[in-house]
Amino acid sequence: MRTLLKALQEHELIVLRVIGEWWELDLTGADKAASCKALAERLAELDFAQEILYLGPEEAAAIQTLVQSNGRSPVAAFERLHGEVRMMGPGALEREEPWFDPISPVESLWYRGFVYRGFDETAEGMIEFYYLPEELLAKLPRPEKPKEVRQTAASTSSTSSSRSVQAVAPFIPVPEPNRYTPASSSAVDDLTTLLALAQRTALRSEALDLLPQILLDNDADRRSLLINLAREMEMLREVEGGIRPTRTAVSWLTKSREAQLRALMDAWSSSGWNDLCHTPGLRCEGDQWRNDPILARTALLDALPQTPDWYRLSDLIAHIKQADPDFQRPDGNYDTWYVRDVAQDNYLSGIENWDLVEGRLLSFLVQGPLFWLGLAETAVQGKHHLFRLTDRALEWLASTPPATEEVTVPIVVQSDATILVAHNANRHHRFQVARISEAQPVAAGKPYAYQITPASLKQARAEGIEPDRILTFLQEAGERPLPAATKRGIERWRERGVEGRLETAVILRVRDAGILETLRTNAKTREYIDESLGELAATVRLENWQKLREAAAQLGLLLDSTVHS
């Protein structure tokens, strides 16, 4: 905040003289420094509270807005409420004389020397504010403080105190819906899967094809959030060609499920992951602007009703729109972002598109990250989307420590070299199982399944995990002796390597041996014939069977086929 003297020094001399005339000071002939000093002394002597009583209702409302927001308000937000000041140079001021016919309440206050304008450094960068000088603000009674709200894990923005605090109607709970989508802790399970896949494949692009089969929820935005949080929590590190888990990941894997979720919640509240640019229906474009995702999360978490009741999502959005509309745009400017409406294919600028940008973002925060992290349950009832906070969310908002103990079940090693890992098994054990076996497609409501194969044992050895260590781990994690067949299979591989291989191939069968001999020796077809299976059959690689059929036709031999491409 600036003093009167510093505020006045920002004015042109002609404006100083206009303000002086209002307060019966003749500044004709005085230089700027003398004019500023004289005006500062005169304004400081005013009974400012009494002067406000003489203002019109619109001018008084403008002063009250500044008082309620600790003496300053971003220019764009303030002008939406109280109008603008026409900024002019000395020549235009002399010609136009705007003080005789102000176009807005704030312009009237401007030429009385009550309201000023200037830039201040904030956590979001330089922002231009309208403000009351220190001496004037100190003469006014401070408004009653609003009921204190919870601070998020991320510190509240330094500009939050500049936002106008308004009386907001309380939320009204609605009856529990007949059907709803319950909260889930599957973020923990899928992040465990992603860490395990990163250990085996460094999450290279070719490994991503496996994700639909092994994740409980393969939503691309959810997956992006989990990987981003893991990076920010330093559970993943960059390696050549990809990313791999760190020791920090091992520490997270050994925690209780609730502690793991809490760590993800805390990380999300301060994450750089840009929720706005993942909001359905919106597309962020250009690199000449930036938004701070923490501001939106802070506004949401501060506004959430901390009860286990059901509420309409539209009521929450309306509450924030009324109480803190500029929550993600501290400067109040709605014309500088390039956010495109995907369906309409047009940019959404101006506060008139608040519902299409801010409204959609708030809806996504509840139905996306809050739901994904097990903090909210959701439902659809008629035209309304409903939500309620889980006990887990209420404990987090109240800073209650998560449960650190949990009951886990051992892994199950079967006689066919399959390993079953229940969802309530130790996540670190599942991570280790994934290092020595191949993940099978996951099925809802069933345990994770992994298959020990020669290829998985070979990869484990390449990572320094020898068969003896595998046998010890499986017995300890399973808490029972290993099936004899599985134990013997691992030991045989250790002693003899691969003893058999299953391959996909096409079988070529012919009526007499001469045909097969022709195909094997002819220059056009011989490269497509692999191993003989007797005199009347041979194998053909799957990728070569069509080439063989075309080449054989050129020899006058038409081959029938039951192979499906």
Q: What is the pLDDT of residue 144?
A: 62
**Residues 308, 389 within the same domain:** yes
**Residues 460, 519 within the same domain:** no
Q: What is the pLDDT of residue 160?
A: 38
**Residues 488, 521 within the same domain:** no
Q: How many domains does the chain have?
A: 5
- Under the banding of pLDDT at 50, 70 and 90, the label for residue 223 is very high
Domain containing residue 357: CATH number: 1.10.10
Residues in the chain: 565
* Boundary (domain end) residue, out of 143, 173, 197: 143
Between CA 25 and CA 113, with CA 12 as vertex, the angle to 5 degrees is 50
* Boundary (domain end) residue, out of 472, 496, 520: 496
pLDDT at 414 over 90: yes
User: Residues 266-285, buried b or exposed e (16+ Cβ, 10 A)?
Assistant: bbbbebebebbebbeebebe
CA distance 254 to 429: 9
Question: Which amino acid makes up residue 491?
Answer: E
CA distance 75 to 63: 14
**Residues 370, 428 within the same domain:** no
- Under the banding of pLDDT at 50, 70 and 90, the label for residue 520 is very high
CA distance 148 to 514: 92
pLDDT at 85 over 80: yes
**Residues 288, 386 within the same domain:** yes
Q: What is the pLDDT of residue 148?
A: 39
Please spell the DSSP secondary structure of 292-330, one letter per residue: -HHHHHHHHHHHS--SS-BEEHHHHHHHHHHH-TTTT-T
Residue 347: which H helix or E strand, with range? strand 346-347
**Residues 327, 458 within the same domain:** no
Where are the alpha helices (H) located in 202-325, listed in sequence order? 211-214, 220-232, 247-253, 257-269, 293-303, 313-323
* Boundary (domain end) residue, out of 108, 143, 178: 143
Residue 236: which H helix or E strand, with range? strand 236-239
**Residues 228, 138 within the same domain:** no
In this structure, what token pair is assigned to residue 29?
């002939």
With respect to residue 353, please indicate whether it lies within any of the assigned structural domains.
yes
**Residues 516, 547 within the same domain:** yes
- Under the banding of pLDDT at 50, 70 and 90, the label for residue 461 is very high
Q: What is the pLDDT of residue 163?
A: 38
Of residues 241 and 385, more confidently modeled: 385
Residue 413: closest CA among 364, 476, 353: 476
pLDDT at 154 over 80: no
Tell me the pTM.
0.75
Domain assignment of residue 301, given as a range: 275-397
Between CA 14 and CA 19, with CA 18 as vertex, the angle to 5 degrees is 120
With respect to residue 243, please indicate whether it lies within any of the assigned structural domains.
yes
**Residues 283, 240 within the same domain:** no
Give 352-377 pLDDT, tens digit per residue.
999 999 999 999 999 999 999 999 99
Q: What is the pLDDT of residue 145?
A: 52
**Residues 301, 370 within the same domain:** yes
With respect to residue 264, please indicate whether it lies within any of the assigned structural domains.
no
Give 5-18 pLDDT, tens digit per residue.
999 999 999 999 99
